[in-house]
Structure 1
Amino acid sequence: MQSEIVPRGDGSSGEGSSASPGSPEETPFLRRVPSESRRRRVVSEPTLSSLSSPFAFESNSRRRSFRRDVGHAAAETFLLTRLTLILLRYLGVGYRWITRFLALACYAILLMPGFIQVGYHYFCSSQVRRSVVYGEQPRNRLDLYLPTNTDQLKPVVAFVTGGAWIIGYKAWGALLGKQLAERGIIVACIDYRNFPQGTISDMVNDASQGISFVCSKAADYGGDPNRIYLVGQSAGAHIAACTLLDQALKESGEGENATWSVSQIKVYFGISGGYNLLKLVDHFHSRGLYRSIFLSVMEGEESLRRYSPEVVVQDPYVRHAASLLPPIILFHGTSDYSIPCDASETFAEALRNAGVEAKLVLYKGKTHTDLFIQDPLRGGKDELLEDIISVIHAGDTVALAEDAVARPTRRLVPEFMIQLARKISPF
């Protein structure tokens, strides 16, 4: 059904690998998961010696967990350094990239008080399960943010983070994950291979496998398998939309086996996304994401149409696939210069013309980072957060009653630092 544009209030503003022994092509993914679970159970069972010393097992478990975290961090740091050097060979080191890097550094320093607090929660909270394995490829990990109240099954959000297809990382969703978990929603932040570790097809495959894991394992973590929502932000919104359409095409008659179904997703939320790459390639080039590297990410100019969800849904041959899509809600700031808001406007229109239930929510004066970073860090009422929660909790009288008396989120960064960071943001 068609829906109106809803303007919001003024703002204060891993390297791809081929099949080999042990690869997913040789050993089915779903067959490997139980063995992983068994390994975890063996580690967590107390021995006779630990029973005689109540604190021994807990101490040993913490030491093992710390060693695992350190080892994982070291491996990812090495991988990131190597990929950065490869990426620099593509980009070169010019004036524009140097100035943007300096602006990003200043931006991060100004918001560091908030990032430190979020980072402390990410690494120290017992409600965060980091780097849960969902596949066999590099970066096939996700972070889980669990509510403290477990008296009933909770709605689940599968979140695909942004990062210009180059610097995306699951921890970028820590702030959103924390806030949604505090409101009784389980969040799974899905990591995926970035360029040059992978190209767009790898990113879509990783996201699909992560969503499959969430759909099949939601109940194991207290989630309601009948209330699963998909959220993507920026480049993650594009990847998630491509994944959703790709899955719908598979289910509409291409005959490929599917490990999850589009029908399992109740609603898709796209935040500040770009959905027509044919229109955006020149815009990205002008902002420093040069055409040559962008086309490398997207596997050549001939693939731009295939990975443009707005173009795909307009094809009359995929109308049946489009009819399988869940309701879609697109959020965008009117002052977004990284991806202009008309990217969401034209996609919403194309979806409605294809018979998809689509809604567009515009936030007046909001930039690309206001919605996802600055607004959550300033505390108080967060419009985007409340809009997402109102949809997820619709029809749940208990959750709605709790939302009505929920305390506003606390401020993490002084306002003057947020305003200054907003002015120098390179995004």
Structure 2
Amino acid sequence: MVLNRRRTDAPPPVSQPPHISERRKVKREIRARRHHLDHGPSVAGKKRFSLIYHINLIVHLGSLLFSHLIRGTWTWVYMLFRLFMFVIFLLPGFLVMGTYYVRGPIHNVNYFIPGITLGKQSSRHLLDIYLPTKKDDDDDDDDDDDDDNDDDDSGNDNENDSKPKAPVIVFLTGGAWIIGYKMWGALLSRALCPHGVLVVIPDYRNFPQIGAEGMMGDLDMAVEWVKLHIEEYGGDPDNVVLVGQSAGAHLGSMLLLTKSAAAARADALNTVNNFSFENLIDKGEDFDLAIERNVSEESFSEMTETTQDSTNSLDNLGCPDSPTNSNKRTGSSWKPSSLRGWIPISGPYDLVGLSDHFQSRGLDKRIIDWIFDSNLSKYSPTHLARNLADSSVNLSNYFPPVCLIHGSNDVSAPCSGGVEFGEALRGLKIRCETIIYDNMTHTDPILEKPFAGDQQLHRDIYEKMRLWCEKGEERLIEFDDSMPTCVRVAPQFCIDVARACNPF
């Protein structure tokens, strides 16, 4: 009987030198930290991607959505067919867009922060990060080579610290509050990242998973995450521009208005509560003379009443920073005034006036009522801005500059609504510029025109970044339409037919 014995002549196992084993341990820790930062903890006790979990989620939400659709207008069937044809004819462009989306960003970074939004963590609480890809950076070996020999694709930390931080765009996608997805902003990233811009596109829950307040909370949380963590990816948290399209423009406008108005309200109440006539009296000055020199009791009373009136419109809003909602969540810490700018594109800003119009376009009133809690006025940015203006609220110091963009041929959210919203913002002393694109539809600026090589929207956004961001004209080169990522990717014939089929 032969026993399996270890060969006595076999060489002993080679032990790694202490410095090598320690270095490998550090590498594993770096990779683990990076994986946690990029992908976050598990969702609902599951792994980052569980096929069974997502199939169950899609089936459940899909059946719930279908149950709402069949009880309302059937115009959506016709619109769905037009959407299908729209995608078919633009397939050459969508293939380029999809390829870039798969290869371009850092995918699925978890941005969930407890205490800001309604509900629990969801698989929609993820965002994509598109890093700048300037030509100068591509020629720099330090960007692609790992000079610190740590097997970590983040490169040399010392070199990253010395590089200037990139200005950031946070893009809020549209989708009629139902079909929004973070992929919809890939074309914007494809055009702007080669010019040195870092683009963040957060996903957020849609109907029927959550209503408008939850959507606003998700976006509030995403901006909070960007402010806290984007520097770790080379972005500049002090130079962030918010951009939103369609439903994203609506939700972003509501979020900024409610947060800025709440900040103004808090400052006004703090001013009144800390007001003391004794503090106005110089040493040895007569009290009556001090009142006459500074403020009368009557004007002080009027100021108190005005302050109270200016905050009444927020009492029942339920915004993330509103005191009436403090029992639900703590809210975020970022302020709208910390943003460099806000660019809403083709947004529906007056839901009250658009309710019948949405019905005729296939978006049933029952669904709209569910999304907005049967209170369209409460979630209409134009109405909120007008109410605040009627209460003599001045948001000039609390709101970032605005560039409102709309297409003149928009049939989903008519151009007149954008013009009225711009006027309402100016009534709050907010710096607001309105740009109307002649003969453009709801999706022309973000899809058809970029597919044809017309980057007018992306150029305008980029120029606003150069204007608003600190040293923007020095840090950002002029927009170059000749870049490979800005040229035509679809035949004009396909684009023309797709525009005729476009349901939006």
TM-score, L = length of structure 1: 0.79
Residue 433 of structure 2 aligns with an amino acid whose one-letter code is K
SS at match of 1:319: coil
Say if 1:193 and 1:202, in contact at 8 Å, map to a contact too: yes
1:88 counterpart (62, 66, 82): 66
Q: Which residue of 1 aligns with 2:386?
A: 314
TM-aligned CA distance change 1:404 to 1:106, over 3 Å: closer
1:272 counterpart (346, 352, 357): 346
User: For residues 66-97 of structure 1, what are the alpha-carbon distances to aligned partners after superposition, in whole Å with 9 as ceiling and x for unaligned?
Assistant: xx999356644542332121111011086522
Gap runs ≥5 in structure 1: 1-37, 47-67
Q: Which residue of 2 aligns with 1:79?
A: 57
Question: Shift of the alpha carbon at 1:398?
Answer: 4.0
Question: Shift of the alpha carbon at 1:306?
Answer: 1.7
Residue 377 of structure 2 aligns with an amino acid whose one-letter code is R
1:113 counterpart (74, 79, 92): 92
TM-aligned CA distance change 1:280 to 1:45, over 3 Å: closer
TM-aligned CA distance change 1:193 to 1:404, over 3 Å: closer
TM-aligned CA distance change 1:40 to 1:421, over 3 Å: farther
Say if 1:313 and 1:319, in contact at 8 Å, map to a contact too: no
TM-aligned CA distance change 1:39 to 1:419, over 3 Å: farther
Structure 1 Cα separation of the partners of residues 481 and 91 of structure 2: 30
**In the TM superposition, what are the counterparts of 1:95-110 in structure 2 within 5 Å?**
95-110=74-89
SS at match of 1:171: helix
Say if 1:348 and 1:360, in contact at 8 Å, map to a contact too: yes
Residue 234 of structure 1 aligns with an amino acid whose one-letter code is S
TM-aligned CA distance change 1:69 to 1:113, over 3 Å: farther
Structure 2 Cα separation of the partners of residues 45 and 170 of structure 1: 22
**In the TM superposition, what are the counterparts of 1:226-241 in structure 2 within 5 Å?**
226-241=238-253
2:166 counterpart (154, 169, 181): 154
TM-aligned CA distance change 1:404 to 1:167, over 3 Å: closer
Structure 1 Cα separation of the partners of residues 364 and 353 of structure 2: 14
Q: Which residue of 2 aligns with 1:396?
A: 472
Say if 2:394 and 2:429, in contact at 8 Å, map to a contact too: no
TM-aligned CA distance change 1:40 to 1:357, over 3 Å: farther
Confirm or deny that 1:185 pairs with 2:197.
Answer: yes
Question: Shift of the alpha carbon at 1:213?
Answer: 0.7
Question: Shift of the alpha carbon at 1:406?
Answer: 5.5
Q: Which residue of 2 aligns with 1:220?
A: 232
Residue 308 of structure 1 aligns with an amino acid whose one-letter code is S
**In the TM superposition, what are the counterparts of 1:271-290 in structure 2 within 5 Å?**
271-290=345-364
Structure 2 Cα separation of the partners of residues 45 and 349 of structure 1: 46
Say if 1:330 and 1:359, in contact at 8 Å, map to a contact too: yes
Q: Which residue of 2 aligns with 1:417?
A: 494
Q: Which residue of 2 aligns with 1:130?
A: 107
SS at match of 1:225: strand
Say if 1:248 and 1:322, in contact at 8 Å, map to a contact too: no
Residue 495 of structure 2 aligns with an amino acid whose one-letter code is I
Say if 1:245 and 1:322, in contact at 8 Å, map to a contact too: no
SS at match of 2:403: strand
Question: Shift of the alpha carbon at 1:401?
Answer: 3.9
Structure 2 Cα separation of the partners of residues 357 and 417 of structure 1: 39
Q: Which residue of 2 aligns with 1:296?
A: 370
SS at match of 1:285: helix
Structure 2 Cα separation of the partners of residues 45 and 280 of structure 1: 45
User: For residues 4-30 of structure 1, what are the alpha-carbon distances to aligned partners after superposition, in whole Å with 9 as ceiling and x for unaligned?
Assistant: xxxxxxxxxxxxxxxxxxxxxxxxxxx
Structure 2 Cα separation of the partners of residues 262 and 362 of structure 1: 25
Structure 2 Cα separation of the partners of residues 191 and 203 of structure 1: 10
Structure 1 Cα separation of the partners of residues 190 and 410 of structure 2: 25
Q: Which residue of 1 aligns with 2:445?
A: 371
Residue 112 of structure 1 aligns with an amino acid whose one-letter code is L
Question: Shift of the alpha carbon at 1:246?
Answer: 1.9
User: For residues 113-133 of structure 1, what are the alpha-carbon distances to aligned partners after superposition, in whole Å with 9 as ceiling and x for unaligned?
Assistant: 1111211121123xx111110
Structure 2 Cα separation of the partners of residues 160 and 331 of structure 1: 14
Bigger Cα displacement from structure 2, 281-290 vs 116-125: 116-125
TM-aligned CA distance change 1:142 to 1:366, over 3 Å: same
Q: Which residue of 2 aligns with 1:21?
A: none
Structure 2 Cα separation of the partners of residues 189 and 212 of structure 1: 13
SS at match of 2:210: coil
Structure 1 Cα separation of the partners of residues 242 and 252 of structure 2: 8
Bigger Cα displacement from structure 2, 90-99 vs 167-176: 90-99
User: For residues 141-176 of structure 1, what are the alpha-carbon distances to aligned partners after superposition, in whole Å with 9 as ceiling and x for unaligned?
Assistant: 111111124642111011110000011111111111
Q: Which residue of 2 aligns with 1:56?
A: none
Bigger Cα displacement from structure 2, 313-322 vs 115-124: 313-322
Say if 1:251 and 1:258, in contact at 8 Å, map to a contact too: no
Question: Shift of the alpha carbon at 1:276?
Answer: 1.3
**In the TM superposition, what are the counterparts of 1:187-266 in structure 2 within 5 Å?**
187-252=199-264, 253=266, 254=322, 258-266=332-340
Question: Shift of the alpha carbon at 1:45?
Answer: 8.7
Say if 1:329 and 1:361, in contact at 8 Å, map to a contact too: yes
Structure 2 Cα separation of the partners of residues 45 and 375 of structure 1: 37
Q: Which residue of 2 aligns with 1:144?
A: 129
TM-aligned CA distance change 1:199 to 1:70, over 3 Å: closer
SS at match of 2:107: strand
SS at match of 1:216: helix
Structure 1 Cα separation of the partners of residues 339 and 110 of structure 2: 21
Say if 2:395 and 2:428, in contact at 8 Å, map to a contact too: no
Q: How many residues align?
A: 364
Q: Which residue of 1 aligns with 2:419?
A: 345
TM-aligned CA distance change 1:140 to 1:277, over 3 Å: same
TM-score, L = length of structure 2: 0.68
SS at match of 2:406: strand
Q: Which residue of 1 aligns with 2:314?
A: none
TM-aligned CA distance change 1:299 to 1:318, over 3 Å: farther
TM-aligned CA distance change 1:400 to 1:71, over 3 Å: closer
Q: Which residue of 1 aligns with 2:185?
A: 173
TM-aligned CA distance change 1:176 to 1:76, over 3 Å: farther
Structure 2 Cα separation of the partners of residues 369 and 221 of structure 1: 31
